[in-house]
Structure 1
Amino acid sequence: MKSIFKPILLLSCLIALPAVAKKLNVLFVIVDDLRPLISCQGDPIAKTPSLDKLAADGMVFERAYAQYPICGPSRGSFMSGMRPDTTGLMGNNTPFHNVLNEELTLNRYFMQQGYAVFGAGKVYHNSIGDDWSEPYFKSEWLDHVKPENKRKADIFFTPKSEGLPPSIEAEDVGDDAYCDGQAAAASEKWIAQAAKDGKPFMMVTGFRKPHLPWCAPKKYWDLYERSAMPVAANRYHPIGAPEIALKHYGELFGYGDIPNGTPLTDELIRQSMHGYYACVSYADAQLGRVLDALKKAGVYDNTIIVLCGDNGYHHGNNGVWTKGVCWETTNHVPLLLKVPGAKKGQRSDALVELLDIYPTLCRTAGLPVPKHCEGKSLLPLVEHPKQEWNGFSASQFRKGKIIARSIRTDRYRFTLWEKGRGNVVGTELYDYEKDPQGNVNLAASPENKHLVEKFTKLHQSEWPSEY
């Protein structure tokens, strides 16, 4: 498949990596459904001291985008280094390793390069794979601990299912009672073991929160006042958006405490926002444990660290809860990178993609980038944050036989919904300079005809012809 970006001249990367005989270690942290509602990206509510510390030690990419707005295809993309059009993964029901069992995934490649590779929590979706140096530690999706909730969770995947438990839980328990504390504990153990063995390692840790259900120890709920939780002002679909682009209700509305088929009340919105923020802080605390484990083992300064969300998340804004639409909020994600020896506390406004993580880790670790990778290393931006970069980032989403392919430029998001090449069934154009929340689709406005034509040609020339 050809690159969807025109080649540009990159400045040489002159970062002075540590002058040690050992290879650099890698910590890759994936946080489920984390949008940039974190304090190091300007959110005034979130309490995320571990993320703030990582940002201070490394670099924040302010405009990073996922390639797909749901878990499975997004993770399949950045863990394989290939776009969803190439992997063919465009839904959550197909296990990644059933489709790409022979592909050179990130963890498989680092194992081939002599690394000890460990996995904990949620890395892939509905799949584990066998490319790990030790048995993979898998955490549970429904991790309620309150007895009546746990009973429902335990039988949900059986014929005796009584439906989903509540969307929230705030028991007064320790961190390891819930899934992400357990993933952090496994990561701590393996980091200590690897450091003792003296072999270069890659630790891939996936935190399930703030994905639903919003279960976290009570102390994280106590960090926030529910009455202070924000309520989106734009609780309506974008004006003029095609029907195919819309989402009506969805994942949140399957939980026992959320009425299905009716809009949420302000009280339920604040409850949901409270749960999301509590889980963000819980995941942040588990990140802190893993970072402390690196420091305790004496390998923090010699470890490359990448952290990202797998997709964005709507909280009622644009009339949507959760994800599964091809708009700004569901594709915009946090991306933090710490490179040993690089300048600390940097920020970049370049348009980057999660697809870039694989080649970035290879280049930083001193490894060749496999030929199949379709992203590019972010190391030049670490050295020169303001240099010229991509003209746009790309995301996509499929509904049945119709596929949305969306490009995000510096100012606009343009999306074509097609049922086969050239058979356009919906068009979207949002101007974030004039309309930061993406409330109005401008594609049908006569004054924007030239933009629609321009971006349509960009689609035709830059997206791979074989899709």
Structure 2
Amino acid sequence: MIVAMKPHPNRIAKSISLLSLVLVAVTASAGNGLNVLMIAVDDLRPELACYGASSIHSPNIDRLARQGVRFDRAYCQVAVCGASRASLLSGCRPETTGCWNFSTLLRSKMPDVLTLPQHFKQSGYETTFLGKVYHSPSDDAPSWTLKASDWAPSQPGKGQSYVNRKPIGGAKTRKRDDPSTKNGPSNENGGNVSDDMYTDGHNADRAVKIIERFADHDKPFFFAVGFLKPHLPFNAPGKYWDLYDRASIEIPAREDVINGVAYANSSWGELKNYPDIPRNVKYLDDDKTRELIHGYRAATSFTDAQVGKLLDALDRSGQRDKTIVILWGDHGWYVGDFGVWCKHTNYEIATRVPLIISAPGVEPNRSSLSMTEFVDVFPTLCEMTGLEVPDHCQGKSLAPILADTSTRIKEAAFSQYLKKKPGGDQMRGTSIRTDRFRYTEWRSVKTEKLDAIELIDFENDPGATCNVADAPAYEDILPKLAELCAQSKAGI
């Protein structure tokens, strides 16, 4: 039975009312609460066919998009996996979580926070996860009612990282900036191997078994499945590599930094730690660039196929008509754009993410241009399932948009990142994205002193190549953007 919805200050009454009535009717007919299947994908940028990338083979994610609502202007809070996931699953911005990197556990900073899966657990749901949901599988132990391994244990010899080579011994003892730190190359064409030889393929098969078990379960479920690819290394069976012609891959423009922007370059992130990546070069050459883009696309299609297995299992189990399915990528990713690789900035490519929600009673095959953020996911799933929205949540429910995709719920989306200024202080970049602009302030973490302002005008510069903060034409707009930027401190 659905509990009464808590009044929420961000609700648009008419839209919420219509959506709520539909969801209540569906739930009442099902005899229990709506299930939630959450699919998290590592390093997935919104370069999918459903987002307009016709060169990408993504039929299953495209199918999900046709079944629900695609958010075209969705942004993560921090472009690094651990911090991004901590923000989404806590409903809090990074200045609240204290999580800024991949390794900091949410519970080490917020031991008593009521997380998204924990809220569902306390509301009578069966909760479990498989794969990479938090960055560390040990984070947030109080949130789960059962171990996935109890229902679907891993199988010996399956679920490998590489299938064509033996790992390089002793990798963990090497220095982080040593190019041999990683135990294999940056990508691998697995050839004629089955999907389950790789970790994501094996986990997809295990997730199917868990979905089947839930079909005969009394409680509604909250099941989070996290796929690793297309995170480095770009490893996938050969059939996914065969979907793409490497020779036809275009090389992105190679500006090493955005003109006039102080902190844009991500310095290649973890890519530099793979033994096949050349050192001390400004750009990767065309052959290596095409090889890596080919690998990223193959890995994306590999994960897309695993998503399809989950959707098919949900359909077969008879649970699709009482299950919310939400898919997100934890942050964006550079594939040679501006000569840059990985993420590790608070700019457009690193922070824009795919976000798709499909649910009973939600009109399918629609898209929204409303600014949305990962902190919005927590209150959204609460509203959709009739759970109270905890007071600590700093986002806004997307339920009004699901009812009417023309609805706008906020003026801007926030993203932040920490970066040390060469020879100077640790700097915190706070970036806001509006319909037209990306405005960024860099301030000293210690003193809050403003160090730099950046302004990208996407209307006149869709490639985001020029900082126009000092241009006289934008003098009047800067105070308004600065005011919006300051609201990140208030958790708005």
TM category, shorter = over 0.9
> Would you say the 8 A contact 2:159–2:202 is kept in 1?
no
Alignment match, 2:432: 407
Instruction: Tell me the alpha carbon deviations over residues 168-194 of structure 1, each in whole angstroms, 9 at most, x when there is no partner.
Output: 011121111111112212211211111
TM-score scaled to structure 2, two decimals?
A: 0.88
Note if 1:425 corresponds to 2:445: no
Instruction: Tell me the alpha carbon deviations over residues 212-251 of structure 1, each in whole angstroms, 9 at most, x when there is no partner.
Output: 0101111111111111122112433110011x34332332
Alignment match, 1:225: 245
Distance 1:412 1:384 in 2: 24
AA in 2 matched with 1:317: D
Root-mean-square deviation (Å) = 2.3
Note if 1:391 corresponds to 2:403: no
Alignment match, 1:147: 165
AA in 2 matched with 1:455: L
Distance 2:467 2:286 in 1: 26
Distance 1:377 1:452 in 2: 28
The one of 94, 101, 105 equivalent to 1:84 is 94
> Would you say the 8 A contact 1:118–1:190 is kept in 2?
no
Distance 2:269 2:390 in 1: 38
1:290 deviation in Å?
0.7
The one of 346, 358, 363 equivalent to 1:338 is 358
Note if 1:49 corresponds to 2:59: yes
Where structure 1 has 5 or more consecutive residues not aligned to the other structure, the ranges are: 1-5
AA in 1 matched with 2:439: F
Distance 2:295 2:148 in 1: 28
Distance 1:76 1:195 in 2: 29
Alignment match, 1:12: 15
Q: Decide whether aligned partners of structure 1 residues 465 and 293 sit closer, same or farther in structure 2, where only a CA change above 3 A counts.
A: closer
The one of 445, 459, 463 equivalent to 2:471 is 445
The one of 266, 288, 291 equivalent to 1:247 is 266
The one of 64, 68, 72 equivalent to 1:62 is 72
Equivalent position SS for 1:40: helix
Distance 2:472 2:337 in 1: 27
Equivalent position SS for 1:202: strand
1:76 deviation in Å?
0.2
> Would you say the 8 A contact 2:253–2:339 is kept in 1?
no
Equivalent position SS for 1:67: coil
Where structure 2 has 5 or more consecutive residues not aligned to the other structure, the ranges are: 1-8, 421-425
Distance 1:132 1:67 in 2: 24
Note if 1:32 corresponds to 2:57: no
Alignment match, 1:3: none
Alignment match, 1:71: 81
Distance 1:211 1:466 in 2: 30
AA in 1 matched with 2:52: G
Note if 1:135 corresponds to 2:143: no
The percent of aligned pairs where both chains have the same amino acid is 38
> Would you say the 8 A contact 1:302–1:340 is kept in 2?
yes
Distance 1:466 1:355 in 2: 10
Q: Decide whether aligned partners of structure 1 residues 466 and 68 sit closer, same or farther in structure 2, where only a CA change above 3 A counts.
A: closer
AA in 1 matched with 2:456: Y
1:146 deviation in Å?
1.6
Instruction: Tell me the alpha carbon deviations over residues 333-389 of structure 1, each in whole angstroms, 9 at most, x when there is no partner.
Output: 100000211211111111111111111111111111111111111111111111232
TM-score scaled to structure 1, two decimals?
A: 0.93
Distance 2:174 2:300 in 1: 33
Q: Decide whether aligned partners of structure 1 residues 465 and 391 sit closer, same or farther in structure 2, where only a CA change above 3 A counts.
A: closer
Distance 1:223 1:184 in 2: 21
> Would you say the 8 A contact 2:97–2:106 is kept in 1?
no
Equivalent position SS for 2:172: coil
1:302 deviation in Å?
1.0
Distance 1:200 1:215 in 2: 35
1:22 deviation in Å?
1.6
AA in 2 matched with 1:180: D
Note if 1:97 corresponds to 2:83: no
Distance 2:186 2:133 in 1: 22
Instruction: Tell me the alpha carbon deviations over residues 394-416 of structure 1, each in whole angstroms, 9 at most, x when there is no partner.
Output: 11001242100000010000000
Instruction: Tell me the alpha carbon deviations over residues 235-291 of structure 1, each in whole angstroms, 9 at most, x when there is no partner.
Output: 33110011x343323321211111123110011111011001001100000000111
Distance 1:210 1:280 in 2: 5
> Would you say the 8 A contact 1:81–1:372 is kept in 2?
yes
> Would you say the 8 A contact 1:65–1:352 is kept in 2?
yes
Distance 2:100 2:479 in 1: 27
Distance 2:31 2:491 in 1: 45
Paired residues for 1:64-463 under 5 Å: 64-128=74-138, 129-130=140-141, 131-136=143-148, 143-148=161-166, 151-152=167-168, 155-158=170-173, 162-164=180-182, 165-171=184-190, 172-242=192-262, 244-262=263-281, 263-400=283-420, 401-420=426-445, 422-460=448-486, 462-463=487-488
1:102 deviation in Å?
2.2
Equivalent position SS for 1:336: strand
Equivalent position SS for 2:204: helix
